[in-house]
Amino acid sequence: MNRFADRTVVVTGGNKGIGYAIAQRFASEGAQVAIASIEPQVEEAAAMLRDGGGDAIGVICDVTDGEAVAALYDRVDERFGPVDVSVQNAGIITIARIEDLSERDWDATMAVNTKGAFLCCQEAIRRMRTSGRGGRLVNIASGQAREGFIYTPHYAASKFGVVGLTQSLAKEVAIDGITVNAVCPGIIRTDMWDYNDRVWGEMLGEYGPGELMASWVKNIPMKRAGEGSDVAALIAFLASADADYITGQTINVDGGLIMS
């Protein structure tokens, strides 16, 4: 398919994991893709997309900095033209007992996961309104936006915030032809897999290496972990014309793990 030919897509946190899978999906369907990350490997990831036949650029950007976010969308506009789809995927997580959770970790998690999504949505909306072409915003939340998990209250709070942001913005910009939706990935096999398994497993005290994530997968009705491509497929749908009448929604992609 070539559903996104001549469309410009921004994916934050797009240099690895779910973000890269999203960028790859849009590139494969003809989009002009800008991947943004605070990590210097972002240009290498963009080069991989170009090697695969995509039209892509990498931009180093701290999504917690409003000026940096504005510069990101300026760069995209100069290179590709007005943004049509913006995917707010950049995120971080730490795991700690409440008495050990630092104010610094709380602030950093809220800044990247919630404030970062807000700043990118704000800037994308400005550009979409100016272009008059409408657009699509997709915010990456989490299964923890449905149910907070132990030792991650800051992460859960940040992702619940993403859902609230999504609903509020959807009501405001629907008149402009802009849809705003959120996606809640469940247990997805990414570069964070080993970290989550080790740290949570050690803290829960019942699991050896590899055992915690395996136990979680057993609770998934489909009996498998998700892949980045599973999340990317849903986002491509939400960004397509087939989703013209869908906005303000939060959709799980988790193999049936959470059914609410």
Phi, psi of 235 (to 5 degrees): -65, -40
- The confidence score (pLDDT) of residue 87 equals 99
Q: Residues near 153 by Cβ (< 8 Å), separated by ≥ 6? A: 98, 101
pLDDT of residue 67: 98
Tell me, what's the pLDDT at 206?
A: 83
pLDDT at 196: 86
Question: pTM for the full model?
Answer: 0.96
In a 10 Å sphere around its CB, with 0-12 CB exposed, 13-18 middle and 19+ buried, how is residue 158 labelled?
Answer: buried
| Whole-number pLDDT of residue 7 | 97
**Residue found by looking up tokens 């007992």 in the block:** 97
Whether 155 sits among the annotated catalytic residues: the reply is yes
pLDDT score of 1: 75
Q: What is the pLDDT along the chain (260 residues), one digit of tens a residue?
A: 799 999 999 999 999 999 999 999 999 999 999 999 999 999 999 999 999 999 999 999 999 999 999 999 999 999 999 999 999 999 999 999 999 999 999 999 999 999 999 999 999 999 999 999 999 999 999 999 999 999 999 999 999 999 999 999 999 999 999 999 999 999 999 888 888 888 998 889 888 888 988 999 999 999 999 999 999 999 999 999 999 999 999 999 999 999 98
The per-residue pLDDT for 231 is 98
For residue 117, the one-letter residue type is: A
Can you give the pLDDT at residue 209? 86
- Rounding to the nearest 10 degrees, give the CA dihedral for residues 73, 77, 80, 81: 130
Catalytic residue among 20, 155, 207, 245: 155
pLDDT of residue 191: 81
Q: How far apart are the first and last CA of the chain?
A: 31
Complete domains list, the chain, with CATH: 8-188+227-253 (3.40.50.720)
In angstroms, rounded to a whole number, what is the distance separating the alpha carbons of residues 213 and 205?
A: 14
